Structure 1
Amino acid sequence: MNWNVAPTARDVTINGSRVFPESITHDAQGNLYNASTGGTIYRTRAGAGTAEPWVVPGPDNALKSLFGVMADNARRLLWTCNNPNIFAGERGVSSLLAFDLSSALQSARYDFPADGPAACNDIAIARDGAVWVSETSGGRIFVLRPHANELELFAKDEALVGIDGLAFSGDGTLYINNVRKNLFQRVERKADGSYAGLTDLTVPVQLGGPDGLRSLGGNRFIQGEGTSGRVAVLTVSGNSVTVTDVVTGLNGPVGVTVVGREAYVVEGKIGYLFDPKLKDQNPDPFVIRAFPLPVVK
């Protein structure tokens, strides 16, 4: 299945240059929020055709380069992963930040341990309100428990190096993908809830840079693949996965969120950051693409 990816009335243009979006989410009102490598958070009001800057880097928020974003409707917060901008040669501490969805003011900051390389990547919220965060460089999963004052290490494993997206199934099982190893995995737990390793799930297609991962309820997820150009619905049955394409042929679909029956996808165009043949070219405009969800039986 390869949908026509020409602009439609539902597509959204991001008001910025060299945005390089990395993740997208939505709140209960249907407003979209996307992160950017330059540190600006963009908001698209429900039904609008343009994403406008909502929070911009400044001395009051220390925003650098943003990866994951996740709306927390219960607490009226937007969580985001803040990292030193590696494309600008920056160094520093990675952190999980929270912004008030009403005021856009920063309300909390939780730094990652400075005991090694760290890259805060993506975010998922459990049924109990705990905020779970993937850390790519060190191969770690952290959790911020309700009312906690710091991040708690849930797992550190060489097998987790390259972890990117994470999402919970309907029964509370945590699933992840690995952008470096092209894997979709289930996180196993012991009886006491602690980490017990990973199970590689059998996927009938070759994944290409699996990145943004969001739950669709039950045992279904939607995933963007940055290097293959695919967005697909993944349905888990035991240790096997069925893949139903939403769209293929996109330019780095690194993030996806679903509002109603529409999937909103950010094209990261990440090749313009790495490919010597593209680095001097203008990748603008950046567009949030909208596609209908396929019927999955």
Structure 2
Amino acid sequence: MRRARWMGLAVAAGLLGAAAPPPPPPPPEIAIPQPRVFPESITATRDGTLIVGSAGNGTIWRARPGDKAATIFIAPDSSGLVSVLGVFADDRHGLLYVCSNGRRGDPTEARDRAAAIRLFDLKSGAPVRNIPTPGASRSLCNDFAVAPDGTAYVAETLRGSIIRVRGDKADVWIADPRLAGADGIAFDNDGQLYVTSVTSGRMFRTGASADGSARPLVELIPPRKLDRPDGLRHIGPGRFLLAEAGDEGGITLMTVKGDMVTLSPLPGGRAGTTSAVALGKTSWAVAGKLRYRTDPALAGQDPGPFAIYGTPIRAGR
């Protein structure tokens, strides 16, 4: 009797073990094979190619579908790029928008001091246009949103403005003290333009009036304080991927309905995430580890390797 009971318990345990789900696979990751890259921004093309800019040395990296490691797409030595923040792929017009900014401190060359909006051919990486930002030596070009007609709008961080780019001309479209720290910027399907401040954590909405001028800013109040909101990418009507670059940050699925904002953190988001972009049901993101560049206590320390990391686009963490 005891033997039969023991065998029954063993069989039951075996069945329970067989029914246990396997552990989830590790999140996908694409290596960026260079030290101290400090990737700040990521964008994607329609064919699934990922493009990343380096704040550390001005390199533009590219990873095609299936790549295990990114490769150099545009090198700083040949392009004149210095410290790259925003990158944005405009498939409609075959252009890659790049924010190139000067190093602060010891640089003496003019190109190292001035912020510029650089345009490259999206397929070949060949230079197309170099547009200084208004007040270039006192500005910080951060990220882009491009309207269907090809007009680009640039979040300018230091002076708290949005710059408009049409052809080879750039002008200040709107400037407002509340936009100090402007960073993430993205259009919704209805033409509304959203912008976040990485320094204040505030979020605003605007858009173009009939004459092309900017409408007054409307502040949106999220359900919690944003943790250094950085890159903002549109993924569908009223839906955005928001990178939060703070120590408690990661990737947040942001939904906007009217003036109501809903925030849902994605699983697997990493602290210090500076930008994320969607390909299908996967978010690809970079954690810039920018504190190793800005925090004197971390100066000279090894930030470790950098990578493009993937996580499913679903609510919950």
TM-score normalised by the chain length of structure 1: 0.91
The one-letter code of the counterpart of 2:34 is G
Pick the aligned partner of 1:53 from 72, 92, 95. Answer: 72
Pick the aligned partner of 1:272 from 276, 287, 292. Answer: 292
Matching of residue 83 in structure 1 with residue 104 in structure 2: no
Runs of 4+ in 1 over 4 A off after TM superposition: 4-7, 87-91, 188-191
Residue 234 of structure 1, CA deviation: 0.8
Residue 105 of structure 1 corresponds to: 126
Residue 236 of structure 1 corresponds to: 256
Matching of residue 64 in structure 1 with residue 85 in structure 2: no
Deviation string 1:57-116 (CA, Å, 9 cap, x unpaired) is 12x421100000001112222111000023765652111111112221111111112376
For 1:142 and 1:152, locate their aligned partners in 2 and report how far apart those are by CA, in whole Å: 6
Residue 281 of structure 1, CA deviation: 2.0
For 1:151 and 1:32, locate their aligned partners in 2 and report how far apart those are by CA, in whole Å: 27
- Structure 1 gaps of 5+ residues are none
For 1:195 and 1:74, locate their aligned partners in 2 and report how far apart those are by CA, in whole Å: 24
The one-letter code of the counterpart of 2:120 is F
The one-letter code of the counterpart of 1:48 is D
Residue 153 of structure 1, CA deviation: 2.1
> Which structure would you say has the larger Rg?
2
- Structure 2 gaps of 5+ residues are 1-22
Deviation string 1:227-262 (CA, Å, 9 cap, x unpaired) is 132211111122120111113661310011101111
> Where in structure 2 are the equivalents of 1:79-228 lying within 5 Å?
79-86=97-104, 91-114=112-135, 117-145=138-166, 148-187=167-206, 190-227=209-246, 228=248
For 2:202 and 2:24, locate their aligned partners in 1 and report how far apart those are by CA, in whole Å: 26
User: Is 2:275–2:285's contact at 8 Å kept on the other side of the alignment?
Assistant: yes
Pick the aligned partner of 2:272 from 252, 255, 259. Answer: 252
User: Is 2:116–2:136's contact at 8 Å kept on the other side of the alignment?
Assistant: no
For 1:246 and 1:270, locate their aligned partners in 2 and report how far apart those are by CA, in whole Å: 21
The one-letter code of the counterpart of 2:266 is V
Higher relative contact order (CA 8 A, sep 6+): 1
User: Is 1:188–1:199's contact at 8 Å kept on the other side of the alignment?
Assistant: no
User: Is 2:143–2:154's contact at 8 Å kept on the other side of the alignment?
Assistant: yes
Residue 277 of structure 1, CA deviation: 3.5
For 1:195 and 1:211, locate their aligned partners in 2 and report how far apart those are by CA, in whole Å: 22
Deviation string 1:3-42 (CA, Å, 9 cap, x unpaired) is x99953x211111100100000011111100001110000
Flag the structure with higher helix content. Answer: 2
DSSP 3-state at the match of 1:196: coil
The percentage of counterpart residues that share the same residue type is 35
User: Is 2:173–2:213's contact at 8 Å kept on the other side of the alignment?
Assistant: yes
Shifted more, 126-135 versus 174-183: the winner is 126-135
DSSP 3-state at the match of 1:277: helix
DSSP 3-state at the match of 2:297: coil
For 2:307 and 2:105, locate their aligned partners in 1 and report how far apart those are by CA, in whole Å: 21
For 1:169 and 1:44, locate their aligned partners in 2 and report how far apart those are by CA, in whole Å: 27
DSSP 3-state at the match of 1:195: coil
DSSP 3-state at the match of 2:261: strand
For 1:174 and 1:88, locate their aligned partners in 2 and report how far apart those are by CA, in whole Å: 36
Aligned residues: 289
Question: CA-atom RMSD, angstroms?
Answer: 2.2
DSSP 3-state at the match of 1:171: coil
TM-score normalised by the chain length of structure 2: 0.85
For 1:249 and 1:114, locate their aligned partners in 2 and report how far apart those are by CA, in whole Å: 36
Matching of residue 36 in structure 1 with residue 36 in structure 2: no
